[in-house]
């Protein structure tokens, strides 16, 4: 069952294991069932099968939007976009079993695959605290290395013809969450103030996911690297910070006349 599978992104490679064995080494064909229950993991399975030549039965059922962090991580890794490594499973029990051998060390971030606005997002400083987090009833968590950072950039893409709107989010002292909804500070930036390579990869990620309008999150690592975290399909355009600036670009995207 998919709950027995461990999904991983490591650099530019992806892995799916069943009880310690790589799926591509033991399976020639996979039959997808009940895709609607684990849609994001099915999408990641499709990307993996495409990469390694595994035949999928009911393959069209897994041609899905990239709603979760797992399929987005698989898509970005396979297309050379710098994104954090991850481990995930639809089952907390499977993910807990992987903690002993997990390659990241501690601390780690444990966040829900479909989490938004910083909800269900935890910092675990050791194996015991990670175990405690994963003993809750809610399932489908993603484990990633904690990357010390100076904040995140939100790149709001409005199609190809318009320059994106960019602002920086930074966590308040005492928390790892950069989300403005969790009290993080925010600063509006000019797009040309962003590293060209980071901005290009952010826009490439949105393009890969087919999101004409989307909010791309870029983590600014203290190691001097940047990491594309995800592409939000429903970024706050009519709410949150800089509403006037966001609405102006939204109007321009649809060709609305300026008053």
* Secondary structure of residue 87 in the 3-state scheme: strand
- For residue 247, say if its preceding peptide bond is cis, omega within 30 degrees of 0: no
Report the CATH fold assignment for 2-145. Answer: Dna Ligase; domain 1 (3.30.1490)
Over 50: is that where the pLDDT of 259 sits? Answer: no
Instruction: List, for residues 6-45, the tens digit of each pLDDT value.
Output: 999 999 999 999 999 999 999 999 998 888 899 999 999 9
Tokens 């429903």 belong to 234
Over 60: is that where the pLDDT of 144 sits? Answer: yes
Instruction: Name which of 34-48, 62-76, 172-186 the model is least confident about.
Output: 172-186
Over 50: is that where the pLDDT of 258 sits? Answer: no
Distance from the Cα of residue 107 to its chain's centroid: 19
In 108-182, the DSSP E strands lie at 108-112, 121-124, 141-145, 149-158, 165-170
Residue with the bigger pLDDT between 183 and 121: it is 121
Task: Tell me which H or E stretch contains 6.
Answer: strand 5-10
Q: Using CA atoms, how far apart are residues 207 and 23, in angstroms rounded to an integer?
A: 29
Residue with the bigger pLDDT between 32 and 52: it is 52
Residue ranges per domain, the chain? 2-145, 149-253
Grade residue 256 by pLDDT with cuts at 50, 70 and 90.
Answer: low
Over 60: is that where the pLDDT of 84 sits? Answer: yes
Share of the chain above pLDDT 70, in %: 98
What per-residue confidence (pLDDT) applies to 76? Answer: 98
What per-residue confidence (pLDDT) applies to 210? Answer: 94
CATH number of 149-253: 3.30.470.20
Equal CATH topology for 2-145 and 149-253: no
Averaged pLDDT for residues 78-92: 97
């Amino acid at each position: 069952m998919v709950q027995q599978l461990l999904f991983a992104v490591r650099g530019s490679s992806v892995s799916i294991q069943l009880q310690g064995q790589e799926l591509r080494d033991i399976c020639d064909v996979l039959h997808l069932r009940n895709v609607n229950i684990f849609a994001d993991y099915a999408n990641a399975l499709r990307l993996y099968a495409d990469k390694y030549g595994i035949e999928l039965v009911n393959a069209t059922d897994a041609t899905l939007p990239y709603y979760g962090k797992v399929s987005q991580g698989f898509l970005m890794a396979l297309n050379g976009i710098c994104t954090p490594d991850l481990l995930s499973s639809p089952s907390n029990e499977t993910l807990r079993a992987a903690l002993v051998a997990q390659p990241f060390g501690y601390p780690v971030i444990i966040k829900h695959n479909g989490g938004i606005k910083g909800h269900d997002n935890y910092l675990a400083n050791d194996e015991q605290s990670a175990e405690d987090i994963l003993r809750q009833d809610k399932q489908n968590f993603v484990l990633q290395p904690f990357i010390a950072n100076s904040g995140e950039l939100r790149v709001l893409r409005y199609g190809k013809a318009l320059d994106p709107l960019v602002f920086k989010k930074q966590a308040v002292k005492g928390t790892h969450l950069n989300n403005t909804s969790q009290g993080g500070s925010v600063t509006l930036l000019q797009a040309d103030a962003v590293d060209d390579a980071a901005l290009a990869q952010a826009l490439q990620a949105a393009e890969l996911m087919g999101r004409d309008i989307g909010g791309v999150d870029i983590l600014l690592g203290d190691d001097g690297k940047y990491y594309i975290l995800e592409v939000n399909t429903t970024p706050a355009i009519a709410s949150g910070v800089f509403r006037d600036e966001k609405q102006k670009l939204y109007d321009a995207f649809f060709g609305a006349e300026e008053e």
